[in-house]
Chain A
Amino acid sequence: MIKTRTWIIIIAVIAAVAAAAAIAVRFFLPAGTTAEIVKDGKVLYRIDLDRVTEEYKIEIGDEDGDRNTVTVRPGMIAVTAADCPDKICVAAGWASGERPYPIVCMPHRLTVRITSGDAGADAEAR
């Protein structure tokens, strides 16, 4: 049998590697100011946040009755309302070029992510 101390070391190593990876992930996030609103794997909206001049809201709904309100401001984007049970997407706050962590609403299969891609001509394309 494996010694208890060995198990503790294995768990500590896993935790240390995960902690290092959690910090390292920041450097692999895309640098950009284009936001994509993705539902069920499909990009619904592509918005260049640098070209947003005033705040507006986008309602994302589906046939299941799932609703999310995405708010776009100059340089930043957030899910500001949702009828999902946990509201983790709302608690996640604002994503931007400086803070490019994706906002995920898992129950509604919705992701708001920052990409390095150019919004270009299809800005806000459906």
Chain B
Amino acid sequence: MSGRKSAGNAAKRIVKDALFAAIALVIFVVEAQIPPLVPIPGVKLGLANIVTVWVLMRVGAKDAFGVMLTRVVIGGIFSGRIVFSLAGGLFSFLAVLILKRFITDRQIFVAGVVGAIFHNAGQLAAAVVIYRSPSVLVYAPVLVLSAVATGLLTGLTAQFLAQRLRVPGE
């Protein structure tokens, strides 16, 4: 019986994580329709980050990793920039995973900021190392500034969601 129960839990988990990944993807695709506000590569709202941060804080690290990876791979197929998304996604995931030990439920906004900064850092690293375009480093300070602003927005959203929204099915 316990085998059936754990199989049921595994199925439940897959369904939930797939749902979160789908939500993140919809947000990602809708955001991609907004024309760039600033002509600097890498400056964007990163609203899908809300989902990853919320899943990491409320559901679990493995779930968040799966959601992030699914979002990045499928989103990369849509946008054609999978290498950048992957570098940014992995960098920010690792950074926020480490940060998680140092923040409380009222400090989730910090995870948004740190995630956004490291997302841009990962993308810059990919641009320099893989595409050999060191010129983009000129925009590094601006990218940090924009990451602080957008990270506060997505981080606070994730924090309010975490305070008000219960994990479905629990």
- Proximity string of chain A (28-45) to chain B, C-beta cutoff 8 Å, 1 when within and 0 when not: 010000000010110000
The answer to whether the Cβ of A113 comes within 8 Å of any Cβ in the partner chain is yes
Name the contact of B135 in the complex, choosing from A1, A11, A21, A113 (C-beta under 8 A).
A113
Q: Per DSSP, are chain B's interface residues mostly helix, strand or loop, or mixed? A: helix
- Proximity string of chain B (101-138) to chain A, C-beta cutoff 8 Å, 1 when within and 0 when not: 01110110010010001000000000100011101101
The answer to whether the Cβ of A52 comes within 8 Å of any Cβ in the partner chain is no
The answer to whether the Cβ of A58 comes within 8 Å of any Cβ in the partner chain is no
The answer to whether the Cβ of B39 comes within 8 Å of any Cβ in the partner chain is yes
The answer to whether the Cβ of A68 comes within 8 Å of any Cβ in the partner chain is no
On whether the beta carbons of A88 and B103 are closer than 8 Å, the reply is no
Chain B interface residues (CB < 8 Å from chain A): 32, 36, 39-42, 79-81, 84, 102-104, 106-107, 110, 113, 117, 127, 131-133, 135-136, 138-142, 144-145, 148, 152
Closest CB pairs A-B (n = 6):
A41-B132, A91-B39, A21-B141, A102-B135, A18-B144, A22-B141
Chain A interface residues (CB < 8 Å from chain B): 1-2, 4, 7, 11, 14-15, 18-22, 24-25, 29, 38, 40-41, 85-89, 91-93, 101-102, 104, 106-107, 109, 111, 113
- A-B contacts, 18 of them at CB < 8 A, read A11-B110, A11-B152, A14-B117, A15-B144, A18-B142, A18-B145, A18-B148, A21-B140, A85-B32, A85-B80, A88-B39, A88-B40, A102-B135, A102-B138, A106-B136, A109-B131, A109-B133, A111-B135
